[in-house]
Structure 1
Amino acid sequence: MAPIAAGPGAGEKGLKTGALGLASSVAIGVASTAPAYSLAATLGLIVTRVGPQAPVITMLAFIPMLLIAYAYRELNATDADCGTTFTWATRAFGPRIGWMGGWGIIVADVIVMANLAEIAGVYTYRLFGYESLAESRLWTTIAGVLWIAVMTAVSYVGIEISAALQRGLLTVEVVVLIVFAVTAMTKVYADPPATAIRVSASWFNPLNVPSAEALTAGLLAAVFIYWGWDTAVTVNEETADSTHIPGRAAVISTVLLLVIYVAVATSAQAFAGVGTEGIGLGNQENADDVLSDLGSAVFGDQGVGVFLTGLLIFMVVTSAAASTQTTILPLARTVFSMAAHKAVPARFARVHRKYLTPTWSTVGMGLASIAFYVLLTLISHDVLADSIESVGLAIAFYYGLTGFACVWYYRRVLTRSTKDFVSKGLLPGLGGLMMLSVFCYAGFHVYADPHYGATSIDLPLLGPTGGVAVVGLGALLIGVVLMLVVTREHTAALKLQRSLLPRKLEPQTAVEAASRYVPADSRSGVGGDWFDLVPLSSTRVALVVGNVRGHGLHAAAAMGLLRASVRVLARMDLPPDEVLSHLDDVARQTSSEWARELGRDGGERGGNGELRRDGARSDAGPDVAAVTCLYVVYDPVSGRCTMARAGGWPPAVVEADTGTVSFPDLPSGPPLGLGGQTFQNVELQLPPGSLIALFTDGLTHAVGHDRDEALGRLAETLSRHRRPLEQLCDLALARLLPGPVDDDVAVLLVRTRMLDERHVAQWELASDPAMVAVARAAVTGQLEAWGLDDLSFVTELIVSELVTNAIRYTDGPVHVRLIRDENLVCEVSDTGHTSPHLRHAATDEEGGRGLFLIAQMVHRWGTRYTAAGKTIWTEQLVAPTERP
């Protein structure tokens, strides 16, 4: 069975990398537009709309295409994903808008495949002189289906074969078109036919177009003849230099198309004129095929002319066939990328083991195109004609969306330089606006006219509406319904994940804190990154960041389980290495339970981490046996910071005085969930005002593939440590996440504080029962100094009980410490390692009641162990008026 794509990221899907160079990419980009077929099918339509201004219309349509090509180039340079508009719009605007971008490509490609197949079938019969078969709907449909099947097979067996075929066919096609244009123009000035008109400057003046409606209709038709160059970018993951060659090929393709179209349109119009009779380009009878009649008129019907005329017709056939094949390439790869990102069923992400091409998506889209073509042919040839013209709406939709996605994707870096502003913002933005204007005007005004096109449909509430608008807008609306269904899990996962993260970091005495959570922008990206700040006993705090590898609902649920476990373990006052050891057990047990649950039926259950029949685990699911976690404990009384990590990155520490940024030499323990692992603590002494930055791997993955560069940028940003933490968080994200990201990112910044002697009092007592009274007196005096006389009685009782127990059951000195924070903390430390247990004393017992009484009088209490022994602490609430 063909394997599923290894991962959703660019270059991770398993396609054959390095198969295409610049020449092949340009050939695929130009061939995808089918220059000969596009001119044959569209030039007459443009002339009927705008008259002799057809050449300038082809030039005006080039402008938004070039601007959108720049958007493709810039986006591809950062993210060479074969999903193109789907992937980029997802990263810029979220999974729903991204899914609609991918749907726009699917709609345009499937509809145009029907048209290309029809043209290829008709011209195949005409090439061999079978005019009766060319006029038969049955036989042209059979031929069209066969062309789709053949070109689907070519796309299936390898990208190199496809590229070689395109290079050969395109070379002959361009040569024939150039010979046609030169011959036609030569005859206009040397031996003009009766229809000839000399080239005029007015042809290139758009102000001479009769109306705005005519201009829009002409532009939409002209946009159609340019459409297809983006195939050069769709095969980016199979290109030698995936970040640069596809973008260059897109720009070069549009420029070459401009030269070809303007030359052929101008020469054809000069030779045939714009009349409505004979070979005139305004003749409605020839509007869908102007080159067949023009070929014999230009080349003649004798000798070499017959051969060149036949070759021109052959070029229309091969052009349509080649475009059929190159239309399958972006269609299949868009669906393939959507499947890799879990936006459509995962089986469409399968890759052929030998050919390294998409299997299900290539064959599936070929079959879908055949089904659509046959269905519309059976319904009505007029509906098929209207569906073909409606392609312009889908094209304008996803091209315009790409332009806007580029602007929003790079919004944080547009002010970095003039070049960035122009190439990443201004040009793509103008292209997007142009496409939006054309889409709205055409879809809701021109195409909606019931007299436009071949059909009209009486819609409820709206009345009679042009069939072109109904088909074009209706196809996009179907995508909206499907989008709501397929993005439902992503939305639920994102809500679950955000609900499991801290809504707000509560103020702490020990640190000032700020955080950011950035969810991944791809649909498969909602995963298991988390952060937390847990208050501990004696004003200490625990700082945590972690990451469950995997995506979707299971990853979010696993994250919530582990975060809750961390909070429970933190409350037990365990050192960081022990917390990670216990968390390792939780992750291992959870992983084992989920593996049994997901694999219970032994079969393939989808793309959310389930086991497949081949025994592998899907990329999308959670890997609870590969959890990274960084756990840090900071004590504001001593200034000591203790940390341990399981995978991931160590924190960044910024010195308070100098702003020097360092990454502590913290041993990287193995990821959690493997079982039987040990972790190592590292302790630092931090002065007040030091900055600690905890972050997950996603922060370093976003800056290309160079993690050292990412850490350098982070260090440079954190060196401005005196800025407010909220501002530092924003600066860090702006520097390290200039665009949307594949992986979730969690960032936690804290600035340390220390409690001075005005808030802390401590005494060391000898192991002598007489010291109990000394301790009570010292504590009472300190509380009077702090103005907390109301707490003296309870505190004396606490100290008396705990010091007495310490002296009775342990040897060595006893330490008493009071911490005045928002609440009053009383600690008694000794050298023992046995923890007292709260119990109800029997009526005949003389002891056992002290700790029970203490528990009733304090807000909370507990025990924590240290290298020297243990500390029993209590916390009493202080009235707000008495707080410092």
Structure 2
Amino acid sequence: MKLSRSRVASDSRLALDSGAGRKGLKSGALGLWSSVAIGLASTAPAYSLAATLGLIVAAVGPQAPIITMLAFVPMLLIAYAYKELNASNADCGTTFTWATRAFGPRTGWMGGWGIIVADIIVMANLAEIAGIYSFRLLGYDSLTQSRVWTTIAGVVWITVMTAICYVGIKISAAVQCWLLFIEVAVLVLFAITALVKVYTSSPETAIHVSASWFNPFHVPSAEALTSGILAAVFIYWGWDTAVTVNEETADSTRIPGRAAVISVVLLLVLYALVATSAQAFAGIGSAGIGLGNKAHEGDVLSGLGDAVFGSQGLGSALSKLLVLMVLTSAAASTQTTILPMARTVFSMAAHKTIPSRFARVHRKYLTPTWSTVSLGLASVGFFVLLTAFSRNVLADSIGSVGLAIAFYYGLTGFACVWYFRKVLTRSRRDFLFKGLLPGLGGLLMLFLFCYAAFGVYADPDYGETSIYLPFIGQTGGVTVVGLGALLLGVVLMLVVTREHTAALRLQRTLLPHRLPQRTAVEMASRYVPADSRSGVGGDWFDVIPLSGTRVGLVVGEVIGHGLLAAATMGRLRTGVRVLARLDLAPDELLSRLGDLVGQTAKEQAAAQGAGGVRPGDDEALGVTCLYAVYDPVSGQCSMARAGHALAAVVLPDSGVATHPELPPGPPLGLGGLPYETAEFQLPRGSLVALFTDGLVQTAVDDLDVGLGLLTEILAQSRRPLEELCDRAVATLVPGPANDDAVLLLVRTRMLDDQRVAVWELTAEPAMVGNARTMATGQLGAWGLDELSFTTELIVSELVTNAIRYAAGPIHVRLIRDETLICEVADTGHTSPHLRHAAADDESGRGLYIVAQIAQQWGTRYTPTGKTIWVEQALPTAPAVEAP
């Protein structure tokens, strides 16, 4: 290639972002008709008919016209899948990004690989026919039989078209529009002239059009029908380029999909007309200009030019124009094949599934640089290699590319169904265009792929080349090349997705597997990992049970991606849970967590011999976090945040989502202003939403717009939480997630007064007996007499300690929840410590005994003092013996 790597690197920069429409490509460069032109030109109608019509006739005989029409059906079905998926996520990665979003990174990677394989294989075919027709146009017919010269000419064409793609999408579109106009005009003129001559001058080979040509049941066998349709699929393939350039198209969510459908329909009309007229004029004979002539199987139009137009005067010029048309068709398709291939690789690099250098964009032309040039080089390499080993490059490459086409088109159909599975019952239109039609298209492609690969192409007698495989034997070269290229992708996929898989597995292992329902709140959550290989980050959420039936709610977002970010998330989540169990206030918990992060960063910097802390020494530096505590007894909620973490609250009587005014705090580990806690009351049935930035910034760049969409969803707060979570994810994360997204929804509850008993006592020794009596009476009212003895002991010990070591009033509270909770609050700030009493100690045994009979106990501090709490397990109901 003429473009050096150093030049490519100096003129390019990395993609701005991996999101749809945000990679830095030239947006708004194409309109509807230029997109249609690119879609049609990518199929190369003249070249496709020249290279394929003979193969179709050889497979099915005179039913070739109906086969070209039947191949339209799966194409149209898949085109609707492209249209619906593009409307949801207009990413130039197309099948790669959509299959990733639907089935995961491994399947998505194979979808992208299928596009690359199909495009690289067909480049060999395009280059071969462009080289042949170049010499034929110039009158050097002898050179068309030379592999060396046709290979050189093909390499030149690939280089030229790669350079055109490199310098800009507008130039590419302009070239395509003019070439396509000439191509279609000559094809239509050829078809009309051929039909007129059939019914006027009646050439020797001519046969009148028959209704049997359009009856697929006249095809001799199912094998012949399948081979014919798979070959005919090739002539339609390429229209998806109109969708691949979606990020460079005006109204990227609508125009590319429309262009794809329009392209397929126009191709149906054109192919039906040309196939019918060519067969009527030339017949299906195996000699002369007959379409069944093996000598012209890979190029049926070159022999028909002189016969249809004549060899004198204007006819000679038109014959030359037909040759030029096939040449320009192949050249145009070479260019439009590089476009989708380069943009697929570009998107895969932007999503970090392949090295990031392939995500470079030219600073001036706004086109992919590394991906365009490298794929041009790969196409040259494969073309030269296939030429060296195959006796018939045209025939074998068409069959091989058919397998790759069926693979990634079928995968797109299935991805559409699975992607929209939750909305298929929303309306008839959704069921038809998002489910039924794409699903049928996927099934048809799957059948064609399996039947052709294992039932037709694997036969060593099929095609021009066969290869001996260990343990299998002699196998058709078409199957070996087609399946071998896809299997190579499986090996590469396992390597390049290894980090993503490991990071995702680690992330999911460290996150809560399920959220057990608590008395305080009803809960639902969603975690959507980033789709790229190293894109899995460290976003997390948690619901932590606290003393007194309270719960701690937390969401956090780790800066960075990959295994390190996931491991950092696990470290921080553990730290939050440990600190939360100390019953710290939200602001104090974040302060302690920030100190922990800062200390760890300093230790890492010291271990690396650094003079200070650098922003990458610890992935936890700069983490945003929001921590909230909700008390179902009082209905009070307290929150504090580190960084830009946000929350939304919907009160039951208003139904309007608002964002609490939380005092700003610095991200963890960076220092700065101290954290502050905001407190507010939440009535029963209030909805609280905690989320990370990835949820509200994936679908749109504007944070305010994302928050507005979330607010509209939360306004339907009376719906089940699981349904609200699904709606939020479907609306706010409609396509491949470039950043992890977390959503935690909780609906508040309140404990009934019948489950809580509170007494205020004076700090007098006589109050100990009163406390025991009141506690025993309350247990009797609750039917918990079995716990009377242990509860009396606990109350007696805790009240006695409060009278002895603190001043002021004493509050005793019993809570009947999943456990029996006994709390004694006083005005002291000294916490008791559990220890083993010596043989001669007169005190110190009471708390030890309490700890032995309790399920758990602890201390929490309040602005006015402290609270000692003790939990006991409720007695289990006796088993009922069977009669």
TM-score of the superposed pair, with normalisation by structure 1: 0.90
Counting only pairs closer than 5 Å after superposition, residues 89-488 of structure 1 correspond to structure 2 as 89-382=99-392, 385-488=395-498
Aligned match of 1:581 in 588, 591, 609?
Answer: 591
Counterpart AA for 1:421: F
| Alignment partners' CA distance in 1, 2:62 and 2:608 | 67
| Alignment partners' CA distance in 2, 1:184 and 1:593 | 83
| Alignment partners' CA distance in 2, 1:670 and 1:303 | 85
Aligned match of 1:650 in 640, 647, 651?
Answer: 647
Counting only pairs closer than 5 Å after superposition, residues 770-809 of structure 1 correspond to structure 2 as 771=767, 774-775=770-771, 778-779=774-775, 782=778, 786-787=784-785, 788-792=787-791, 794-807=793-806
Counterpart AA for 2:658: F
Aligned match of 2:679 in 678, 683, 688?
Answer: 683
Q: Which residue of 2 aligns with 1:29?
A: 39
| Alignment partners' CA distance in 1, 2:260 and 2:426 | 25
Q: Does 2:652 align with 1:662?
A: no
Give the RMSD, CA atoms, in angstroms: 3.1
Whether the 8 Å CA contact 1:347–1:360 is kept in 2: the answer is yes
Aligned match of 1:760 in 756, 768, 772?
Answer: 756
Q: Which residue of 2 aligns with 1:565?
A: 575
| Deviating more after overlay: 315-324 vs 704-713 | 704-713
Tell me, what secondary structure is at the counterpart of 1:381?
Answer: coil
| Alignment partners' CA distance in 2, 1:271 and 1:309 | 15
Q: Return closer, same or farther for 1:257/1:693 CA change in 2, 3 Å cut-off.
A: same
| Deviating more after overlay: 817-826 vs 40-49 | 817-826
Whether the 8 Å CA contact 2:604–2:618 is kept in 1: the answer is no
Tell me how far 1:702 sits from its aligned partner: 6.4
Whether the 8 Å CA contact 1:549–1:622 is kept in 2: the answer is no
Counting only pairs closer than 5 Å after superposition, residues 444-843 of structure 1 correspond to structure 2 as 444-521=454-531, 523=533, 525-587=535-597, 624-646=620-642, 647-655=644-652, 660-667=655-662, 669=664, 672-673=667-668, 674-700=670-696, 706-707=705-706, 710-720=709-719, 741-768=737-764, 771=767, 774-775=770-771, 778-779=774-775, 782=778, 786-787=784-785, 788-792=787-791, 794-807=793-806, 810=807, 812-835=808-831
CA deviation string 1:368-412 (max 9, x = no partner)? 111111112223334674233211111111111111111111111
Counterpart AA for 2:825: S
| Alignment partners' CA distance in 1, 2:315 and 2:618 | 67
| Alignment partners' CA distance in 2, 1:338 and 1:756 | 55
Q: Which residue of 1 aligns with 2:858?
A: 862
Whether the 8 Å CA contact 1:713–1:735 is kept in 2: the answer is no
Tell me, what secondary structure is at the counterpart of 1:546?
Answer: strand
Whether the 8 Å CA contact 2:390–2:464 is kept in 1: the answer is no
Whether the 8 Å CA contact 1:412–1:739 is kept in 2: the answer is no
Counterpart AA for 1:101: G
| Alignment partners' CA distance in 1, 2:109 and 2:511 | 27
Structure 1: gaps of 5 or more residues = 601-614
Q: Return closer, same or farther for 1:731/1:224 CA change in 2, 3 Å cut-off.
A: closer
Tell me how far 1:754 sits from its aligned partner: 3.3
CA deviation string 1:454-509 (max 9, x = no partner)? 12233344333222122212221222222222222222112111110122334533
CA deviation string 1:808-851 (max 9, x = no partner)? xx4x4332333344444333323344555567789999877776
Q: Return closer, same or farther for 1:730/1:267 CA change in 2, 3 Å cut-off.
A: closer
Whether the 8 Å CA contact 1:236–1:242 is kept in 2: the answer is yes
Counterpart AA for 1:77: A
Whether the 8 Å CA contact 1:554–1:622 is kept in 2: the answer is no
Tell me, what secondary structure is at the counterpart of 1:424?
Answer: helix
Tell me how far 1:767 sits from its aligned partner: 4.6
Q: Return closer, same or farther for 1:333/1:830 CA change in 2, 3 Å cut-off.
A: same
Whether the 8 Å CA contact 1:653–1:662 is kept in 2: the answer is yes
Whether the 8 Å CA contact 2:655–2:715 is kept in 1: the answer is no
Counterpart AA for 1:94: G
| Deviating more after overlay: 226-235 vs 42-51 | 42-51
Tell me, what secondary structure is at the counterpart of 1:763?
Answer: strand
Tell me how far 1:331 sits from its aligned partner: 0.7
| Deviating more after overlay: 63-72 vs 841-850 | 841-850
Tell me how far 1:185 sits from its aligned partner: 2.0
| Alignment partners' CA distance in 2, 1:257 and 1:590 | 64
Whether the 8 Å CA contact 1:92–1:521 is kept in 2: the answer is no
Tell me how far 1:784 sits from its aligned partner: 6.1
Counterpart AA for 1:12: R
| Alignment partners' CA distance in 2, 1:704 and 1:428 | 27
| Deviating more after overlay: 727-736 vs 382-391 | 727-736
Whether the 8 Å CA contact 2:101–2:531 is kept in 1: the answer is yes
Q: Which residue of 2 aligns with 1:604?
A: none
CA deviation string 1:703-731 (max 9, x = no partner)? 667435632552254223xx5x5566556
| Alignment partners' CA distance in 1, 2:358 and 2:602 | 29
Whether the 8 Å CA contact 2:713–2:724 is kept in 1: the answer is no
Q: Return closer, same or farther for 1:752/1:497 CA change in 2, 3 Å cut-off.
A: same
Q: Which residue of 2 aligns with 1:605?
A: none
| Alignment partners' CA distance in 2, 1:762 and 1:390 | 80
| Alignment partners' CA distance in 2, 1:203 and 1:671 | 75
| Deviating more after overlay: 285-294 vs 782-791 | 782-791
Whether the 8 Å CA contact 1:764–1:813 is kept in 2: the answer is yes
Q: Which residue of 1 aligns with 2:54?
A: 44
| Alignment partners' CA distance in 1, 2:671 and 2:265 | 60
| Deviating more after overlay: 574-583 vs 385-394 | 574-583
Whether the 8 Å CA contact 1:195–1:272 is kept in 2: the answer is yes
Tell me how far 1:694 sits from its aligned partner: 3.5
CA deviation string 1:588-624 (max 9, x = no partner)? 5667888999999xxxxxxxxxxxxxx999xxx9964
CA deviation string 1:739-791 (max 9, x = no partner)? 77555443434343433444433332335566556545555655566522221
Counterpart AA for 2:111: G
Tell me, what secondary structure is at the counterpart of 2:433?
Answer: helix
Identity of counterpart residues, as a percentage?
Answer: 68
Tell me, what secondary structure is at the counterpart of 2:459?
Answer: coil
Tell me how far 1:109 sits from its aligned partner: 0.5
Q: Return closer, same or farther for 1:597/1:212 CA change in 2, 3 Å cut-off.
A: farther
Q: Which residue of 2 aligns with 1:606?
A: none
Whether the 8 Å CA contact 1:91–1:522 is kept in 2: the answer is no
Q: Which residue of 2 aligns with 1:603?
A: none
Tell me how far 1:644 sits from its aligned partner: 3.0
Tell me how far 1:270 sits from its aligned partner: 1.9
Whether the 8 Å CA contact 1:530–1:563 is kept in 2: the answer is yes
Tell me how far 1:131 sits from its aligned partner: 2.1
Q: Return closer, same or farther for 1:783/1:505 CA change in 2, 3 Å cut-off.
A: same
| Alignment partners' CA distance in 2, 1:670 and 1:81 | 36
